[in-house]
Amino acid sequence: MNFDIVLLSRLQFALTIMFHYLFPPLTIGMGVVLVYLEAMYLWTKEPIYENAARFWTQIYAATFAMGVATGIVMEFQFGTNWATYSRFVGDVFGSALAAEGIFAFFLESGFLSLLVFGWDRIGPKFHFFATLMVSLGSIFSSVWIVVANSWQQTPAGHHIVQMVRDGKPWFIDGQPVMRAEIVDFWKLVFNPSSAERLVHTLIGAFLMGAFFIMSISAYYLLKRRHEDFARRSFTGALLFATVFSLAQLASGHSNARMVANYQPAKLAAFEGHFKTGPADLNLFGLPNVETQTVDHQIALPGMLSFLVHDDLKAPVLGLDKIQRDYWPPIRAAFTTYHLMVGIGMYFIGLTLFASFLRVRGILFKQRALLAVFVGSVAFAVLANELGWASAEIGRQPWVVHPGVLRDGLGNILFDSAGYVQYRMDEGLLTSRAISESINSGQVLSSIFMFGLIYSLLFAVWVFVLNHKIHVGPEPAHFPSETTTENLLTALTGRSGHDETKEKL
Amino acid sequence: MDLNTLWFLLLGTLLAGYAVLDGFDLGVGILHPLAQNDHDRRVFFNSIGPIWDGNEVWLVTFGGALFAAFPEAYATVFSGFYIPFMLLLCALIFRAVSIEFRSKTRSRAWRAAWDYTFFLSSLTATLLFGVAVGNSILGVPLNERGVFTGTFIGLLRPYPLFLGFFTVAMFAMHGSLYLNLKIPHGELHNRMKDWIWHTWGTFLVLYILATIYTLVTIRHAIPNFENAPWSVLIVLANILAIANIPRATYRNRPGQAFLSSCVSIIALVALFGIALWPNLVTASNHPENSLNIYRAASSEKTLRIMMTIACIGIPLVLTYTSIVYWTFRRRVVIEKNSY
């Protein structure tokens, strides 16, 4: 078969990670909301909080299961498709993944069972603790994953050395076999981009959780069902979304500065900035690689220079200083990045406007606006996906992005042809990272398999969610437990007698 | 004892933990067709409901630890066994989803579809684990760089396939002993007790055949056992544990029977480790290409860092696991939060 195996493997990775990444941000975001609801229940003892928490738990559990099921694929895929990468970075990158398993997955999965099945078995305080632990677990998981991914973007805390085999330096056909090894674990964990990127990722997840809850609440308000529940949920989530929409702007800004410093090619691709010099901030446009200009451009003059260097006239490094072989795909990077930023701006406008109306007390009468909120969750999902896509596309053609060579004062060094010099030994090109023992037929068939399974899973998840949303939360004043249990006991033909016997 | 040996042992522990814990989960799935009506099926699902996810984390952590401690072995195995791993992923995804979504609606067709999925995915995953163990014991062709040079069909040799069926029988027995602890007293429970005799009998026959088959075909593992005379104790523990299962069941001590099954699985994983030692991946074509615990390992510094992480993490993991198992220690009661 004539398909390029690197391209196919990238396609497979993109497909599986983007599908997987529908779920973790949602569970991270909703986890925080569940912690809040249960804390409020413990504090106020108002049953509405407990009912709300029980309702969101069902949706949370279904989403969590999808995250777990699609997450195993990610861990396996480094080995199945990117074995050469795994051999090169396993010493460094593998540690972060193993830490995720030990510190995050056990915590999440253990306490998740108490969260989902523990409602009537453990006390409310312990249940709150379990919810807190699950929420923390999902955050820990994001910490280690973002650390691992940030190391690919801005590697630190390691050195590249020749491997040793049976006590001697290892050569194959006269070529030394090299790999990355840890020198300083904490430098690896706190590599230059991990903290910035983690904050940005978590805020993205919180926004997704908030918009998801606002979407369902707005739907109930439009249908005039569970209105008390929906108003409270919406208000809480709106406050959350407003604060984090604004925070995301600040975080995005400081991320862009970090990228400008460590990955100049990526920033130039994001902004379609071809020629080094004062840079405009593109609000709209289509970068044209042939003419090295941005078509249909609408731009704020000098704004990018100002954002990166606090000076409208300061030169920003352009793609002309990057060797053509090391250009990321410009159009894809530009488009994904700009759509993400655009959605972020839309969120700021929307949440501020809605908050204003909420303070005035007229928000819930604006049915058109509520309808907008029902649909806006799609943009939150999209923004999270686009953010990852732009970060990863902008890193290409590297799977491990090499650092930029600098002089003692921190100025970037250029080679004789005027191109940025990379620490070449540090980087690994994506095209060299592929497994040696697989063929394109295998990858093609696994892409089909994942495509099929994931379409099916997505349909099932939407179906179940739709069902849960349709049934809705239980009314607050209804003494639900006894009734349901009696009903279930009757249905299942079991008497309470058996249960008492078990306890003895 | 050096760090490489310690990591070999730690990975063995993770594998044994996975086999014991997810072993009964998978066994419940393999036995699922024995449940005859919707209530019984829900009892099966809920017997593992709160814990299967945590059990599967042992596999995920095994994968992560293999990646971190022995990246060469991780890369070779995962890329070399591409198709089996894709099938395994397919099975694990469907299994997770069938457990989670099966009882979410009342439609009979919906539930029946997920019941079949649960059974088939549990069976496939178990079979694949056994085939993987068989191939590890036999060894696979590797080149000088440690890259797998065989084919998928080449992995489907008689011995690994036989170990696949053996693993299915083992987990089915393990699952039946677990269900015996979890199913509420009544008609289903009586039926399950009878089934233990069948699952145990099948396991015993395959166990004897597997032992003979291994001794006859895997000559290269025998020196390892000769060099470690204490391994006789493991064999002895294994045999006693297997013999104790019918005894404990007959005397109506389901807990003891289940623990015996756990011991026998741990002993089998230990024997597997001894047979493999000191290799993680044995090269069947050129023994000098084998990936042993030194050639496949990360740097000493990384192994030490990972050991620190493991020492902090393992007590925490054992704490959560105990809390969860303690909370859900009683027999299954179907209630509104149940699957």
Q: Is B147 on the interface with A (CB under 8 A)?
A: yes
Please give, one letter per residue, the 3-state secondary structure of A45-107.
CCHHHHHHHHHHHHHHHHHHHHHHHHHHHHHHHHHHCCHHHHHHHHHHHHHHHHHHHHHHHHH
- Structural contact between residues B8 and B16, judged by C-beta atoms closer than 8 angstroms: no
Sign of torsion over alpha carbons A372, A377, A380, A385: negative
Residue of A16, A70, A80 best to disrupt the B interface, most CBs of B under 10 A:
A80
Q: Please, which pLDDT band fits residue A475 given cuts at 50, 70 and 90? A: low
Q: B65, A95: Cβ pair inside 8 Å? A: no
Report whether pLDDT(A481) > 50. Answer: no
Q: How far is B71 from chain A (nearest CA, A)?
A: 5
* Residues B65, A436: C-beta atoms closer than 8 Å: no
Share of chain B above pLDDT 70, in %: 100
Residue of A436, A447, A466 to mutate when probing chain B, most B C-beta within 10 A: A436
Using an 8 Å Cβ cutoff, are A262 and A192 in contact? Answer: yes
Both tokens of residue B235?
């064999």
Helices (H), B218-253: 222-227, 231-250
How far is A327 from A320, CA to CA, in rounded Å?
A: 10
Chain A to chain B Cβ contacts (< 8 Å)? 251
Of A114, A34, A28, A51, give the one whose Cα is nearest residue A472: A51
If you ran DSSP here, which 8-state letter would residue B145 be given? T
Burial A60-90 (b: 16+ CB within 10 A, else e): bbbbbbbbbbbbbbebbbbbbbbbbbbbbbb
In this complex, do A110 and B331 lie within 8 Å of one another by their Cβ atoms?
Answer: no
For residue A145, CA distances in Å to A99, A141, A333, B302, B309 come to 10, 6, 22, 18, 16
Give me the number of domains chain B comprises.
Answer: 1
Task: Look at A243-257, A308-322, A435-449, A478-492 and tell me which has the smallest mean pLDDT.
Answer: A478-492
- In this complex, the residue of A65, A80, A87 whose CB is nearest that of residue B71 is A87
**Whether A129 contacts chain B with CB within 8 A:** no
Token digits of residue A47: 């049953």
CA–CA separation, B50 and B59 (whole Å): 17
Say if B67 is an interface residue toward chain A (CB within 8 Å). yes
Q: CA-to-CA distance for A462 and A26, rounded, in angstroms?
A: 14
Give how far B337 is from chain A: nearest CA, Å: 6
Question: Does residue B334 lie in a domain region?
Answer: no
| Residue contact A435–B75, C-beta within 8 A | yes
Say whether pLDDT at A468 is over 60: yes
Q: Which of B280, B294, B320 to mutate to test the interface with A (most CBs of A within 10 A)?
A: B320
* pLDDT attached to residue A271: 86
* pLDDT in 10s for each residue of chain B, 339 residues: 789 999 999 999 999 999 999 999 999 999 999 888 888 888 888 889 888 888 888 998 899 899 999 999 999 999 989 999 999 999 998 998 888 888 877 888 888 899 999 999 999 999 999 999 999 888 899 888 888 888 888 888 999 999 999 999 999 999 999 999 988 888 888 888 889 999 999 999 999 999 999 888 888 778 888 888 888 999 999 999 999 999 999 898 989 999 999 999 999 999 999 988 888 898 888 888 888 899 888 888 899 999 999 899 888 888 888 888 888 888 887 777 677
User: pLDDT value at position A482?
Assistant: 38
Dist CA A41 CA A22 (whole Å): 29
In a domain, B254, yes or no: yes
Query: How far, CA to CA in Å, does A170 sit from each of A163, A165, A483, B141, B299?
Result: 6, 5, 71, 20, 14
The percent of residues above 90 in pLDDT, for chain A, comes to 33
Q: Which of residues 2-41 of B touch A (CB under 8 A)?
A: 39
**Contact yes or no for A20/A458 (Cβ under 8 A):** no
3-state helix, strand, coil in chain B (%, to 5): 80, 5, 20
DSSP-assigned letter for residue A300: E
Give a yes or no: residue B336 inside a domain. no
Which of B 210-249 lie inside 8 A of A, CB atoms?
none
- The enclosing H or E element of A182 equals strand A178-182
Would you give the DSSP letter of residue A414? B
Residue A79 has its nearest CB partner, among B67, B306, B336, at B67
Q: Do A111 and B89 touch (CB under 8 A)?
A: no
Which positions in chain A touch B13 (Cβ < 8 Å)?
none
Closest in A111, A442, A499 to B82, CB measured? A442
Single out the residue of B5, B26, B15 nearest to residue B62, CA to CA.
B15
CB contact burial A437-460 (16+ within 10 A = b; e otherwise): bbebebbbebbebbeebbeebeeb
Query: Residue A297: phi, psi to the nearest 5?
Result: -80, 135
User: How far B151 CA sits from the closest chain A CA (Å)?
Assistant: 9
CATH of the domain at B10: 1.20.1630.10
At a CB cut-off of 8 Å and minimum separation 6, what does A26 contact?
A63, A205, A208, A209, A212
Asked if residues B27 and B175 have their Cβ atoms less than 8 Å apart, the reply is: yes
* B141 touches A at CB < 8 Å: no
Is B61–A183 a contact, with Cβ atoms under 8 angstroms apart?
no
- Contact flag A120-B335 (C-beta cutoff 8 Å): yes
Write the DSSP assignment of A214-244 as a string of letters: HHHHHHHHHHT-SHHHHHHHHHHHHHHHHHH
Q: What percent of chain B has pLDDT over 90?
A: 46
Q: Which residues of A touch B51 (CB under 8 A)?
A: 113
Q: Say how far apart CA A294 and CA A281 lie, in whole Å.
A: 11
Which among A100, A109, A165 is the nearest to B53, CB-wise? Answer: A109
pLDDT of residue B286: 86
Query: For residues B68 and A89, what is the distance between their CA atoms, to the nearest angstrom?
Result: 9
Q: Which residues of B touch A105 (CB under 8 A)?
A: 57, 60-61
B184 and A488 in contact by Cβ < 8 A? no
Q: Which of A76, A81, A95 sits opposite B63 (nearest CB)?
A: A76
| B189 shares contact with chain A (CB less than 8 Å) | no
Does A105 lie at the interface with B, CB-CB under 8 angstroms?
yes
User: What residues of A are in contact with residue B299 (Cβ under 8 Å)?
Assistant: 91, 181-182
A493: pLDDT strictly greater than 80: no
Cα–Cα distance measured from residue A318 to residue A276, given in angstroms and rounded to the nearest whole number: 4
- Its sign, for the CA torsion A392, A394, A400, A403, is negative
How far apart are the C-alpha atoms of B121 and B129, rounded to whole Å? Answer: 12
Interchain contact, A106 vs B321, CB within 8 Å: yes
From B189's Cα to the closest Cα of chain A, the distance in A is 13
Q: Is B330 on the interface with A (CB under 8 A)?
A: yes
| Domain contains B20 | yes
Enclosing domain of residue B69: 3-327
Within an 8 Å CB–CB cutoff, is residue B100 touching chain A?
A: yes
Sign of CA dihedral A385, A389, A391, A392: positive
Give the pLDDT score at A480: 39
Instruction: Check CB contact of A231 with chain B, cutoff 8 Å.
Output: no
pLDDT for the residue A171: 86
Note the pLDDT tens digit of each residue in A18-71: 999 999 999 999 998 889 889 988 898 888 888 888 888 888 988 888 888 888
Residue B206 and residue B134: Cα distance in Å, rounded?
14
Hey, are the CB atoms on A86 and B75 less than 8 Å from each other? yes
Q: Across chain A, how many H-helices and E-strands are there?
A: 17, 12
Which ipTM was obtained for this model?
Answer: 0.86
B190-242 residue pLDDT tens? 888 889 999 999 999 999 999 999 888 888 778 888 888 888 999 999 999 99
Q: Is B286 on the interface with A (CB under 8 A)?
A: no
CB–CB contact A106 B294 (8 Å): no
Structure tokens at B339: 């699957």
* Identity at B337, one-letter amino acid code: N
Residues from chain B that touch A65, judged by Cβ atoms under 8 A, are 53, 96-97, 99-101
H or E element in which residue A468 lies:
helix A440-471
B284 touches chain A (CB under 8 A): no
Any bridge partners for residue A179, and if so which? A161
Give yes or no for B336 touching A (CB within 8 A).
yes
> Strands A175-176, A171-172: parallel, antiparallel or unpaired by DSSP?
antiparallel
Contact (CB<8Å) B53/A86: no
Verify whether the Cβ–Cβ distance B57 to A106 is below 8 Å.
yes
Give the residue from A172, A28, A41 showing the smallest Cα distance to A104: A28
Question: For A486-496, what is the mean pLDDT?
Answer: 38
Q: Do A80 and B85 touch (CB under 8 A)?
A: yes
Q: Distance from first CA to last CA of chain A, Å, rounded?
A: 66
Given CB atoms, is A455 within the 8 Å cutoff of chain B? no
End-to-end CA, chain B: 47
CB contact under 8 A, B68 and A438: no
Contacts with B207 (C-beta within 8 Å, 6 or more apart), sequence order: B166, B170, B242
CA distances from A65 to A72, A108, A461, A490, B274 (A): 11, 11, 10, 30, 36
Residues linked to residue A422 through DSSP beta bridges, in sequence order:
A404
Centroid of chain to Cα A394: 16
Whether residue B339 lies inside any domain: the answer is no
d(CA B184, CA B333): 8
Nearest to B40 by CA among B245, B173, B188, B179: B188
